[in-house]
């Protein structure tokens, strides 16, 4: 979808209109790029059918239906009617109605679509967190039978009771399998490119992204220990 804001330099309502347009797009679950077009001469105003600053167009159509037949082009400030009063900013309702018409919906259905997208992203985040948690638990269980005794022996601690830590040994392959599958699904969510993430997703928030990555690699290290245990145990006992 082609989204444009036409303006002239120094217009006080230019940047607030761009911000309101961006917020409205995000609320509707859309992330189209806003193209800002500066109109600096009368000739350019006539060539672009410039109705005043700021003018918003969606797919080449002015967002204000009543203004589409106007032919008075020039470097002037533009006003819009919002709840019966004149204002220099187009209302969110006017913007969302124009966008919805261009995407073949109405404002209400567009809002529903946005809510569905947000719900879907939240569900994906929960699945990623659940997979990472499951992978962490499985990795801990898989490595308990070997990592515990190895650490204790390395520290010079001995005793018959250490043998009790190997009770989970027969289940180690199962835990490893569960951990690998869980880490695979968690990794798909955590390591997605930032540009492919929606605002608020795990992979879109730098601090959360780093935290999840640390937990992922800790769990992965435990799985590696569990897998390598049969090949390393002879060096410790």
Residue 57's DSSP bridge partners are 4, 62
Q: Residue 206 burial by CB count (10 A; 0-12/13-18/19+): exposed, middle or buried?
A: exposed
**Stretch 75-94: mean pLDDT, rounded?**
90
- Answering whether pTM is above 0.75, one says no
Res. 17: pLDDT tops 50: yes
Res. 18: pLDDT tops 80: yes
79 phi and psi, to 5 degrees?
A: -125, 160
Residue 54: cis peptide before it, omega within 30 degrees of 0: yes
**Stretch 118-146: mean pLDDT, rounded?**
65
> When comparing pLDDT for 102 and 197, which is higher?
102
Query: Going by DSSP bridges, is the β-strand pair 80-82/61-62 parallel, antiparallel, or unpaired?
Result: unpaired
CA angle 128, 206, 176 (to 5 degrees): 35
Res. 140: pLDDT tops 60: yes
Architecture of domain 3-104: 3-Layer(aba) Sandwich (3.40)
Q: Among residues 102, 124, 114, 125, which one has the least CA distance to residue 30? A: 114
> When comparing pLDDT for 147 and 18, which is higher?
18
Res. 203: pLDDT tops 70: no
Residue 213 vs residues 8, 40, 128, 186, 206: alpha-carbon distances, Å: 46, 49, 12, 10, 10
pLDDT the model gives residue 184: 81
Residues of the chain with pLDDT > 70: what percent? 66
Phi-psi domain of 156 (left: phi exceeds 0; alpha: psi -120 through 50; beta: other): left
Rounded distance, CA 221 to CA 139, Å? 9
Give the model confidence (pLDDT) of 180-196 as tens digits: 888 888 777 777 665 55
* Average pLDDT for the chain: 76
Res. 234: pLDDT tops 60: no
End-to-end CA distance of the chain: 67
pLDDT the model gives residue 80: 92
Q: Report the length, in residues, of the chain.
A: 237
With cut-offs at 50, 70 and 90, classify the pLDDT of residue 207: low
Rounded distance, CA 52 to CA 68, Å? 13
Domain ranges of the chain: 3-104, 117-235
Cβ(3)–Cβ(25) below 8 Å = yes
């Amino acid at each position: 979808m082609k989204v444009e804001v036409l303006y002239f330099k120094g217009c006080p309502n230019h940047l607030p209109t761009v911000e309101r347009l961006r917020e409205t797009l995000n609320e509707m679950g859309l992330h189209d790029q806003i193209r800002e077009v500066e109109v600096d001469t009368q000739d350019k105003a006539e060539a672009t059918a410039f109705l005043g600053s700021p003018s918003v167009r969606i797919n080449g159509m002015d967002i204000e239906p009543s203004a589409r037949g106007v032919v008075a082009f020039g470097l002037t400030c533009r006003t819009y009617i919002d709840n019966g009063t004149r204002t220099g900013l187009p209302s969110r309702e006017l913007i969302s109605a124009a966008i919805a018409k261009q995407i073949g919906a109405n404002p209400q259905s567009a809002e529903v679509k946005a809510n569905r997208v947000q719900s879907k992203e939240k569900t994906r985040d929960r699945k990623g967190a659940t997979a990472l948690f499951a992978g962490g638990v499985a990795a801990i269980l898989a490595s308990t039978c070997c990592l515990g005794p190895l650490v204790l022996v390395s520290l010079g601690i001995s005793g018959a009771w250490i043998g009790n830590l190997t009770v989970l040994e027969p289940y180690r392959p199962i835990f490893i399998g569960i951990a690998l599958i869980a880490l695979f699904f968690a990794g798909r969510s955590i390591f997605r490119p930032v540009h492919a993430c929606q605002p608020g997703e795990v992979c879109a928030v730098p601090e959360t992204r780093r935290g999840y990555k640390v937990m992922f690699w800790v769990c992965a290290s435990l799985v590696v220990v569990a897998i390598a245990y049969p090949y390393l145990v002879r060096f410790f006992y």
